[in-house]
Amino acid sequence: MRDIERQIGSAHNLVVFEAAARHLSFSRAAEELSVTQPAVSQALRRLEAAIGARLFVRGHRQIALTDAGARLYLDVSDGFARILATARQIGRAAGSDQVTLLVSTAFATWWMVPHLQEFHARNPGVDLRLETVTRDIEIASEETTLAVRRGNGEWPGYHAALIAPERLRAVASPSLLARLPTVTDIGDLTRQMLVHLEEPHRYRPTWAAFFAQFGVAFQDRHDGLRLNDYALVLQAAMAGEGIVLGWEHVCRLPMAQGLIAPVGPWTWDTGAGFYLVWSDRAPLSDRAALTRDWILSKARSITG
């Protein structure tokens, strides 16, 4: 423990770092943690000094993670998720009536969190806990656990309901688009700086597969960023690091906020989808059923 304290200064610094890296905003991290923005900045400076590396690129109106910051964020967010999962499992074993939703970091950030205030207003008796995961975890016969998965909607041992079809298109930051030549042919995209998602435990559509749908051969030059978390892929896009494959259901909000924009008109409907799943071995608790019904209703209202 002393080695950890010497390396990071304080565990509190990691809590502040995780919030700032997830939001890419010191002010939003301060609001979430109920502290002042100077307190957030001070904690991050202490962490950077203890580690001996810059974790953020600080701009006038925005911040971005450095390569070192992105590496640390992956480990910190994954570690926090594991700790949280264990704590919740212990809580459930002790008779807690919480509802747990297992989701990716990107889905949590850009789909669930923006609607949580509405959820709690409509379901005041439900203690919903979001748990971010990097693989599809078996939820067995849990009566209070839901999960979001990508696939065809068929998993033995589970019920599944569609949240959104998988629809992909190229997206990038407006600042990057302003610097690029006009992309009028999809073949032009193959020569741009592309950001790649490479999850180690789950299949995710690749740029090669995307281009193949339009009859375009793609030779991976192995340049550009390669990240194993889609939340980081979107952060890279917003920071102007390259063009990314955008999942429509996750990108809808950052596009509406002007953080990213479509590159060309090409859209790929893969035939797969993102589903809310729950065990078929035991009925859901009343609170979990309320949560399921609200998520599906919200999904229908978003997609129209």
Q: What is the pLDDT of residue 222?
A: 76
The predicted-structure confidence for 280-294, as pLDDT tens digits, reads as follows: 988 899 999 999 999
- Are 169 and 282 in a shared domain? yes
- Are 107 and 64 in a shared domain? no
- Are 118 and 11 in a shared domain? no
Task: Count the residues in the chain.
Answer: 304
Contacts of 1 (CB under 8 A, 6+ apart): none
| Residues 181 and 152: beta-carbon distance below 8 Å | no
Q: What is the pLDDT of residue 240?
A: 93
- Are 49 and 101 in a shared domain? no
Confidence of residue 181 (pLDDT cuts 50, 70, 90): confident
| Residues 129 and 101: beta-carbon distance below 8 Å | yes
- Are 39 and 110 in a shared domain? no
- Are 123 and 62 in a shared domain? no
The predicted-structure confidence for 70-118, as pLDDT tens digits, reads as follows: 999 998 988 888 787 776 666 554 445 689 999 999 999 999 999 999 9
Q: What is the pLDDT of residue 120?
A: 93
- Are 212 and 67 in a shared domain? no
| Residues 149 and 121: beta-carbon distance below 8 Å | no
In a domain, 257, yes or no: yes
Examine the fold and report which residue of 13, 42, 74 is the final residue of a domain before the chain moves on: 74
Q: Which domain holds residue 47?
A: 2-74
- Are 70 and 110 in a shared domain? no
In a domain, 81, yes or no: no
- Are 38 and 129 in a shared domain? no
Examine the fold and report which residue of 74, 106, 129 is the final residue of a domain before the chain moves on: 74
In a domain, 86, yes or no: no
CATH of the domain at 29: 1.10.10.10
Rounded to two decimals, what is the model's pTM?
0.69
The predicted-structure confidence for 117-155, as pLDDT tens digits, reads as follows: 999 999 998 999 999 988 888 787 677 899 999 999 999
Tell whether the model's pLDDT for residue 254 goes beyond 90: yes
Q: Is 217 exposed, middle or buried (0-12, 13-18, 19+ CB in 10 A)?
A: exposed
User: Which is higher by pLDDT, 243 or 94?
Assistant: 243
Tell me what the mean pLDDT of segment 225-251 comes to. Answer: 94
Confidence of residue 59 (pLDDT cuts 50, 70, 90): confident
Q: Which residue is it, tokens 């949280």? A: 84
The pair phi, psi for residue 27, each rounded to 5°, is -70, -40
CATH of the domain at 139: 3.40.190.290
Confidence of residue 301 (pLDDT cuts 50, 70, 90): very high
In a domain, 154, yes or no: yes
